[in-house]
A and B are shown apart, each in its own frame.
Chain A
Amino acid sequence: MLKIKTPKTQRAKRALDNRAPKIVENAKKTLILHGTKTSGVVNAVLMQIYHMKRDNAVKYTKKNENIRPFESGGETSLEFFSLKTDCSLFVFGSHSKKRPNNLVLGRMFDHHIYDLVEVGVDNFKSTETFGYDKKLTPRIGSKPFFAFIGEGFESVEELKQLKEVLLDLFRGEVVENLNLAGIDHVFVCTAVSPTTVFFTHCALRLKKSGTLVPRMELVEVGPSMDLVIRRHRLPNDSVKKEATKTTSDQLKKKIKNVSSDIVQGKIGRIYIPDQKAGSIPLSNDIKGLKRERREAKKSKRAQETGENEAKKQKTCSDDHKLIGN
């Protein structure tokens, strides 16, 4: 009655395995979409966010009238899109008289809504309006710096959540090795008041200083806006616990070439590279000859190999002479 469906090609299998739950996860992808009505500001903001996150973001162009993240039934479409595109972050833009220039930033856990933050965008300035040296433009995919200023980020609940969400949204891949030459840009967020955050994106210029550490200079490059917190939804406690679980690092590392025996204890395996006995050059020290001859031969050989001359064949008469002596 049940049929086992397996992918027919290896490529499909690899794609499915990539989307499966793993111990070490992939970088989170972002879904950018908008509702029935948007303003020019909202469109510009969504476009800029998409350009900043080009590699791991998906932007939908259609209007979605049945998505209402804060209502109980209005999230099914979002969850379906998240499942289809394998995105666990989303940015939903809309505009209405009650909530002008609205952005809903949300996260998903297991393709179900984890938490939401609704912000309004004020005083938006897009990248085009900033004049700067084009050589400083940050590259797509470079790891950004973050600067959070203000005690509000610690004391006010909504700002704490916004800090986490902004970090998640813009940090990109978690890497172990970082190239110091690729430090490009920084996101500066200042808690101006318990409800507003001034958000700006700057390029970094590293200047020579006396020490090893270069002097940092910030040049405003990207979009800058005021985010006004409107509504928010915190995650359920049980879901939160599930999502913030971690395993010990021991499970990740597998030590190879080490085994243990009851008799001998811990045994290791060493792999030696191939010796290539046939192509090792012979030594110049020929032990069969007497000392003067040996040393003469050694120096002569060394001379010959140094000047790249052809080797002379030893004649039989020479050997006879030696034996006689």
Chain B
Amino acid sequence: MESEKFQVDLGNLMAFDPAHHFESIPSSREELTKACLEKGTELVQAIANVLFALPSTEDRDGPIVRLPQPTTKLPREKHFPKPKPPTKWELFAKTKGIKPRKKGKRAFDEQTGAWKRLHGYDRVNDDKDIPIIEAKLTDEPGEDPFSKRKAEKKKRVEKQEKNRLGNLKQAAKAGALPSHIQLAATALPITGTRTDVPRKSSKEELENVAGMAATATASGGKFDRKLSGEKPLKHAGKHRKFLPVVEGKGMSSQEQKQTAKILEQLMSRSSNDILDVKKAVTIFNVKKEKKRKMEKDRERSSTASKLKPKKQSLKKSSKKH
């Protein structure tokens, strides 16, 4: 057995016999299994020989042996964690040579005269502990110093959040975003500007775009074969409204209305005055008149009895309980 040298990978408890080959494939299944099991036994015995020779410590469950690192290189499942790029403060501190100072757990609060923690509940230098703020010569009368302090703090916090976001964006660019943080876009970017975060198209957006692309064929997408699961177009049919050539009796001039609307928009856009009250009033009145006229016409021409009260049948029903 010693003559055949097996490759033993102890970390994986594996043995490989490269020298074996079947001269003739065994005819029956049982013979094949028997031969394989025999060979397997040899290999396993070889591993066990090396394994039991390792120094073992006694435990209540049995002897425990320290396995070496596996020798067969298997691929990782994820990439190596990338090192984080230094933050803005870290770069600044490096250039200036500022070393991080160690702070104690408690600090002495001048206002209350007690030892308090640095952050959180009941902390040092809290804004609500200050009873009196003395006025300085530079202060303007009518200004609330307490609210001023609050506003300044809010500004500082906002600035810090902005810096933090900037640092995280840099880290995301380098691919080293901390695993528990995600950057999400809250609004659409302004057209023409770059996006820092790749925008994930939502389902509706993609459907709309797909629909638009589908109608971009010569026949408007009507005869294209649809894939299973593809929903029909949302705005199927006409996309422009053409006014009727001959207007019926009940309708007021739609063409007039259309032109009036366009004219209004043009006039309002080109006019530099802030608001011409007279003009606005006349426009409003004209609109109101037109609306009333339309309703009156509709009423007069309607033959349906929709607006008439329902006739209650005074006849008793023939059915009796």
Counting CB contacts under 8 A, is A19 at the interface? yes
Q: Are A110 and B78 in contact (CB under 8 A)?
A: yes
User: A152: which B residues are within 8 A, CB to CB?
Assistant: 21
Given contacts A2-B196, A177-B64, contact A145 B13 (CB under 8 A): yes
| Nearest CB in chain B to that of A28: its residue | B77
Counting CB contacts under 8 A, is A302 at the interface? no
Our pick among B12, B49, B56, B78 for the contact of A146 (Cβ within 8 Å) is: B12
Give the interface SS of chain A, mostly helix, strand, loop or mixed. mixed
Counting CB contacts under 8 A, is A22 at the interface? yes
Q: Are A5 and B62 in contact (CB under 8 A)?
A: no
Interface hit among B180-188, B202-210, B266-274? B180-188
Our pick among B29, B36, B52, B70 for the contact of A149 (Cβ within 8 Å) is: B36
Q: Are A153 and B59 in contact (CB under 8 A)?
A: no
CB distance from A177 to the nearest CB of B (A): 5
User: A186: which B residues are within 8 A, CB to CB?
Assistant: 40, 44
Give how many A residues have a beta carbon under 8 Å from the other chain's beta carbons: 78
Q: Are A192 and B61 in contact (CB under 8 A)?
A: no
CB within 8 Å of B: which of A149-206? 149-154, 163-164, 167-168, 171, 174-183, 186, 188, 190, 192-193, 198, 200, 202, 204
User: B184: which A residues are within 8 A, CB to CB?
Assistant: 2-3, 5
A180 to B66, CA, bound (A): 10
Q: Are A215 and B17 in contact (CB under 8 A)?
A: no
Our pick among A5, A220, A243 for the contact of B182 (Cβ within 8 Å) is: A5
Our pick among A3, A147, A168, A176 for the contact of B186 (Cβ within 8 Å) is: A3
CB distance from A216 to the nearest CB of B (A): 5
CB distance from B228 to the nearest CB of A (A): 10
Q: Are A151 and B19 in contact (CB under 8 A)?
A: yes
Our pick among B17, B19, B20, B49 for the contact of A213 (Cβ within 8 Å) is: B49
Given contacts A2-B184, A4-B168, A188-B37, contact A204 B62 (CB under 8 A): no
Q: Are B41 and A109 in contact (CB under 8 A)?
A: no
| Nearest CB in chain B to that of A217: its residue | B41
A247 to B76, CA, bound (A): 12
Q: Are A17 and B179 in contact (CB under 8 A)?
A: yes
| Nearest CB in chain A to that of B63: its residue | A180
Give how many B residues have a beta carbon under 8 Å from the other chain's beta carbons: 66
Across chains A and B, the number of contacting residue pairs, with CB separation under 8 Å, is 212
Q: Are B32 and A1 in contact (CB under 8 A)?
A: no
CB distance from B241 to the nearest CB of A (A): 38
Our pick among B21, B67, B77 for the contact of A109 (Cβ within 8 Å) is: B77
Q: Are A240 and B75 in contact (CB under 8 A)?
A: yes
Q: Are A148 and B17 in contact (CB under 8 A)?
A: yes
CB distance from B203 to the nearest CB of A (A): 14
A123 to B33, CA, bound (A): 12
Q: Are B21 and A151 in contact (CB under 8 A)?
A: yes
A175 to B29, CA, bound (A): 36
| Nearest CB in chain B to that of A153: its residue | B16
Q: Are B81 and A218 in contact (CB under 8 A)?
A: no
| Nearest CB in chain B to that of A16: its residue | B180
CB within 8 Å of A: which of B1-32? 11-22, 25, 29, 32
Q: Are A216 and B75 in contact (CB under 8 A)?
A: no
Q: Are B16 and A2 in contact (CB under 8 A)?
A: no
A188 to B182, CA, bound (A): 46
| Nearest CB in chain B to that of A243: its residue | B75
Flag B37-69 by CB within 8 Å of A: 1 or 0 each. 101110111011101110010010111111100
Q: Are A148 and B14 in contact (CB under 8 A)?
A: yes
Our pick among A164, A192, A202, A242 for the contact of B25 (Cβ within 8 Å) is: A192
Counting CB contacts under 8 A, is A304 at the interface? no
User: B13: which A residues are within 8 A, CB to CB?
Assistant: 143-146, 171, 178
A149 to B184, CA, bound (A): 53
A177 to B54, CA, bound (A): 11
Flag B192-220 by CB within 8 Å of A: 1 or 0 each. 00001100000000000000000000000
User: B74: which A residues are within 8 A, CB to CB?
Assistant: 164, 167-168
Given A2-B196, A145-B13, A214-B52, 6 new contacts (CB under 8 A): A20-B81, A164-B74, A179-B65, A182-B62, A212-B53, A213-B49
Binding site for A on B (CB under 8 A): 11-22, 25, 29, 32-33, 36-37, 39-41, 43-45, 47-49, 51-53, 56, 59, 61-67, 70, 72-81, 164-165, 168-169, 179-187, 189, 196-197
Jot down 9 A-B pairs with beta carbons below 8 A, ordered by A: A3-B183, A16-B179, A107-B75, A110-B79, A148-B16, A149-B39, A178-B13, A235-B75, A244-B75
